[in-house]
Each structure stands twice: as C-alpha cells, then as structure tokens.
Amino acid sequence: MAASRYRRFLRLCEEWPVEETKRQRDLGSFLRQRVAQAFREGENTPISDPEACDQMYESLVRIHTNFYKNKYPRLKDTTFTGVTVEDCRMILATDILKQMEDMKKGTWKRLREKFSAKKPEEDLK
C-alpha cells in the first residue's frame, strides 16, 4: 500500500509546476524535497500514519487543482489595493526581492561592501 501512496505523490510532483522566478522559495520545489524526505526508501518506505498521509495528499491535490478557487470564484482578479495577479508575481520574484533588499541597505553599508576587500560575513566573526 505504501508503494501506491509513493507513486501518487510522485505523480503529483511531476504535475506540480516549478516557478523559475522564485528560486529556492517555490512550493513545487519544496513539495519535491518533502516527498524525497518522507519516502527515503521509495516504495519500501513504511508509513506510520496512513490516514494522515492520505489526508495530506488530498489537501495537496485540492491546492494543485485550484479546488477552492473554482468553488468560490472571485468577482475581480485584483486585491483590495487594485494589484493584479501578474503584478504580485513580478513583485515576489526572487530578483526583484533581492533588488529591494539591496535598496534597504544604508549608504554606509553599501559603500563598505563596495570598497571592502573582505566579505561582510567575515566582519561578524
């Protein structure tokens, strides 16, 4: 029975898209890592709580198939601020977040990083 659960999770991982704009922060990548951890022995992995495993799988399927989005359709595809889904995707992209993080740095810290021969992490040691 563990083999069929493992195959179902693998199929879900194959279907789940990986969003390239969110490197290391993508739900698809996280799901793949967790499945690999949970099923270390592959089909031979013993499952201590089969009901919880099935429940988790069903929950992930509902997320993947947009079950609640389809069950409760929205009137508009914007938030209360008027930001669209595409705007949110762009803002949450890893590259944009890195740029915003760099902008938050103070002038002194930016200058120090620019002209320093050693890395800022070495200052903390």
For residue 33, is it within any domain? yes
Question: What's the structural domain count of the chain?
Answer: 2
Segment 38-51 mean pLDDT: 86
For residue 124, is it within any domain? no
Same domain, yes or no: 14 and 40? yes
Same domain, yes or no: 27 and 85? no
Half-sphere exposure of 110 (CA within 13 A, CB side): 8
Residue span of the structural domain in which 83 resides: 76-118
Q: Collapsing DSSP states into helix, strand and coil, what is residue 71?
A: helix
Read off the pLDDT of residues 70-110 as tens digits, 9 standing for 90 and up. 999 888 777 777 777 777 777 777 676 677 666 667 777 76
pLDDT attached to residue 11: 93
* Residues constituting the chain: 125
pTM, rounded to two decimals: 0.61
How far is the C-alpha of 81 from the C-alpha of 94, rounded, in Å? 22
pLDDT attached to residue 56: 93
- Asked if 31 contacts 60 with a C-beta cutoff of 8 angstroms, the reply is yes
